[in-house]
Structure 1
């Protein structure tokens, strides 16, 4: 039988000859990818140009290519580009393994939002409870060539004979590879055919290519030997009989192993289950029972989403992605262990390696090096890391499913129609020309994302990933204009998307809170947020003198597009997005901002009936709705106490709990005090001060992000503003001075007298409401995405409570 390499070369030669004769052939001309067999940058460019012509698409993103084509020989053919997958760090997870020990993070390459966060939560829970213990139980790669004989007698004789050839075949294999070691031969007779299962150890390589070459050499040797044994007349053989289970689920591989066989275990106590995973022991055992019976019904393996962790690490570290299918056949076990659980995971067919294949690509090799998985013995370490994280992810996902955190079907964005999403490509000259009344627009450049996206935008971007959401600086070139017009484009999410994002965030604190939010999430103030600010800019007199200039509005409900085109505040506006810099707010800045907002408060002070005519503003929150939500507020602060015990000590938490418990008394009282129009998000993230040109010590307030504007006490804006611009050690008399300054400014703007004691009482009630309804949610955001200023804000609120 001829060497397969020579057969391949002959075939390639014939292809080339045939290609040269295509013009003269009677066969139809065949289309071919250009420069086949050439893997260099000029050849890549020619292929890219060819496929552009074929597809009619610009394919601009494929121009950039950062890899060295010379290093990709053996990894790819017909090279045209690469795909970038985001990689996040999960964990770290505390390991107690043979090879994996100590704290180890894991690179997860994925486009699935929340996967890294879920794996990290599971790793945190397992680590808090003592960590994960891991062991590699064995490692082997399998090949199973098929030998066909004249009859079943000859096949039976061969099956007996081949089982005695391990030593001679080992000699043949050693001539092909010094890493592969034959550890077993298992003949499987099927009629007059025999599959011979070759079992190899392959060291730190996955070994699939290595064992193929070794098995081919073995087959040639067997063919030569059988030529001397007419009683075992061989008709033919095939390098793979498909009984090895390569890249597919296999009961044989499950029982006997293929690739690496790895196991992981952990104990998670009841306190950690409740504090981190928001479930009880009985919750988890019930979830596991569901997992087992559901898997049995489907004919699958009892695990939740082992393949998710495996695919993410595989993609990051250059493993064979096709092996995710077989590698993901994990077996999860769970038992009660005191007030907690014992859990273990077996991965019987984990096909991985740390040498060869994609592991040698630059980034993949760096990720392997990052977790200590290069060098001798590193494949076993990688196997233990994968097993540990797969177990942690399964526990996190299982707790999310049973705790109500995984999904809430009734609040999904159930769009049953196709939506042509508004994207960055729509920010083009045609659109801007229709918005602006300033000549022909010749160019529009989105110059980046602002660092000051609102908390709402940041959360909803995780829900509305397909469309443009957020705040974007844009340079607009107008024909005849000397300089580009500098704008801010604000693309708003739907209020339903905001509500869903908030719901997902709240449910991380437990299923009980998920149900509470479902019953009364409308009391959060998020309803109508996508329309409210647009309407305000259509009626700028409502907040006269405080708004940035608005160049135009785009409202297209069919495309779910709600956009504002605002001036980009320049150097004459100071203290923009200064939430992390309270030291920059001097007394004259604070009084300047309070004077500005007092004009709004004074204009609408006590005129709630007129505000009610602004139907876009929405109805004021009813006291009963807030009171009904007390279970949510209490549950959130129980969660925050566990997450931030130093921030919420017993005395401060007791004050907050008292506010929540007594809300049925003080919320109706607050609703009976004089109300006005408030910004309701009035802090140093959303305001700036415009320096008056001829009076540098005077400042005019500029306030933006009005989507939460509502009817409330004027002190509501005062409380939030002071919590951001002051520090926890601010003198109480200084705070009282600002409270009094605001009262006087509102009274002057309204032209009415305002009782000082009533104002002070309103300040206390507004503070309680701000802490209960807003700080509770901000701290939940802080759990998911660090808000560097929020812990200071919470401490300032505590200081304000002493006034």
Structure 2
């Protein structure tokens, strides 16, 4: 099938009631009746489960979950759940994904599923000799690591290699051992931390150096997710819009003040999917921002350019340490169901989908910024929240929001005035 003839096979959720949306998503994703019923519950995690997830649990906080549709990722129709409280994000992802479908959708790749565990050695009088001694013990280190997790070994993962770095610090030189571990479908934090703690005492035996920290690195630069897509000028408002988006990218890539906001917009989409699937948002965010500064200057996580045919091309690359097993991904019942909606069967597949979401979310934000401005669409969608804040309930929420938009005055004071007018009319 030629890219130009690709049509969406996903339902259009726009305008449907929440219950109808849920059943449409459930039908597309093949959810069971029990899974669908679970998502329909107003609070879908039992207190007994939440109490085992964290210490001193007193309550749970519900976050809206929207489903972005229209994504064509590596030729596959994909729906993506996003857990986020901010308006516009789900719409940006959906609209942006549909705009790149005529050119073939989004293509993704992954560098692998290797995580890094660090062991810090301090008070090392002879760091270069120590480095050599450790490198000579590579096979013994590998055996120690693999013995920690036979299940991972059976799944095709486990120890891959070591690196030994000498770094200069204000406290003097330190030797740092990196354990490179393929964690397969797990994010892998607990696994690699266990391995680091198992290896550390042997390092002291072999070298006499003092091990201190033994923990993973969230700069997972051996686990990079990549995505790229093409938007034709005719599908995005013309060549002037195309060129404006490239200029907006150049601004972000040159200025850390703008890059920070640009990358926050990318993470709006990425973190929402990470949270929805029960993965570690803090780990992914820390890795992404560190990767954005790897050149020594904080830059854009995405890149935008014009190809030989005059199309807008976007690409993104960032660490994506997510998993399908372990942690809240398996503990939280809602995360399990939302993960099923994505259709991802491996951690790599999920990471690739998340990278695709980050790219199209960035396109949506840049397109809005370079055309109507971010506030026009954002505030229109935000109007319902303002109406609720002013005290509107039921059908008044939509009516007050629409009237604020018509008056071009979206704030609590205007909402209260409109609500008072409606209540007065009903009283008459």
Q: TM-score, normalised by structure 2?
A: 0.74
- Tell whether the 8 Å contact from 2:365 to 2:374 is kept in structure 1 after alignment: yes
**Could you tell me whether the CA contact under 8 Å between 2:64 and 2:84 is conserved in 1?**
yes
1:564 alignment partner in structure 2: 423
Shift of the alpha carbon at 1:111?
A: 0.7
* 1:291-690 to 2 correspondences below 5 Å: 291-295=252-256, 303=263, 305-329=265-289, 331-337=301-307, 338-347=309-318, 349-360=319-330, 361-374=332-345, 378-407=346-375, 460-469=383-392, 492=400, 498-500=406-408, 561-564=420-423
Report the CA distance between 1:271 and its aligned residue: 0.8
Alignment of 1:12-161 (within 5 A): 66-68=44-46, 71=49, 75-96=53-74, 101-149=75-123, 151-153=124-126, 155-161=127-133
CA contact under 8 A between 2:78 and 2:343: conserved in structure 1?
Answer: no
> Matched residues in 2 for 1:210 and 1:73: separation?
23
Q: Which residue of 2 aligns with 1:197?
A: 178
Q: In the TM superposition, what is the alpha-carbon distance from 1:490 to its structure 2 partner?
A: 11
Matches within 5 A, 1:756-767: none
After the TM superposition, list the runs of 4 or more consecutive aligned residues in structure 1 that deviate by more than 4 angstroms: 68-74, 297-304, 488-497, 559-563, 565-568
Is the CA contact 1:326–1:350 (under 8 Å) kept in the aligned structure 2? no
Q: Count residues in correspondence.
A: 363
Is the 2:197–2:214 contact (alpha carbons within 8 Å) kept by the matching residues of 1? no
DSSP 3-state at the match of 1:152: coil
Bigger RCO (CA 8 Å, 6+ sep): 2
Q: Residues 111-162 of structure 1, C-alpha deviation per residue, up to 9 Å, x if partnerless?
A: 101110111111111113221111112232112121223x522x33221111
Counterpart Cα distance in 1 of 2:398 and 2:203: 72
Give the match's secondary structure for 1:305. helix
Give per-residue Cα distances to partners, 1:520-548, cap 9 Å, x unaligned. Answer: xxxxxxxxx98xxxxxxxxxxxxxxxxxx
Structure 1 runs not aligned, ≥5 long: 1-63, 227-231, 247-252, 413-455, 473-487, 503-528, 531-555, 569-703, 705-803
Map 1:256-295 to 2 at 5 A.
257-258=220-221, 260-274=223-237, 280-295=241-256
* Structure 1 residues 304 and 69: CA distance shift in structure 2, 3 A: closer
Structure 2: segments with no counterpart, 5+ residues: 1-41, 293-300
Instruction: Say whether the 8 Å CA contact 2:66–2:82 is kept in structure 1.
Output: yes
Q: 1:765 maps to which residue?
A: none
Q: Tell me by how many angstroms 1:245 deviates.
A: 4.2
C-alpha spacing 1:501/1:117, structure 2 compared with 1 (3 Å): farther
What is the SS of the residue equivalent to 1:373? coil
2:121/2:174 contact within 8 Å kept: yes
Structure 2 counterpart of 1:238: 212
Which of 164, 182, 188 pairs up with 1:187? 164
Q: Assess if the C-alpha contact under 8 Å between 2:110 and 2:223 holds in 1.
A: yes
Closer/same/farther in 2, CA of residues 165 and 109 from structure 1, 3 Å limit: same
> CA separation in 1, counterparts of 2:240 and 2:364?
10
State the alpha-carbon separation in 2 of the partners of residues 490 and 108 from structure 1. Answer: 23
Distance in 2 (CA, whole Å) between partners of 1:302 and 1:405 is: 14
- In the TM superposition, what is the alpha-carbon distance from 1:290 to its structure 2 partner? 2.1
The structure with the larger Rg is 1
Distance 2:255 2:198 in 1: 45
Q: Structure 1, residues 283-333: CA drift from partner, whole Å, max 9, x if none?
A: 2222222222233x6676975622111110011100012113224346212
**RMSD, matched Cα:** 3.5
The range that moved more, 84-93 or 190-199, is 190-199
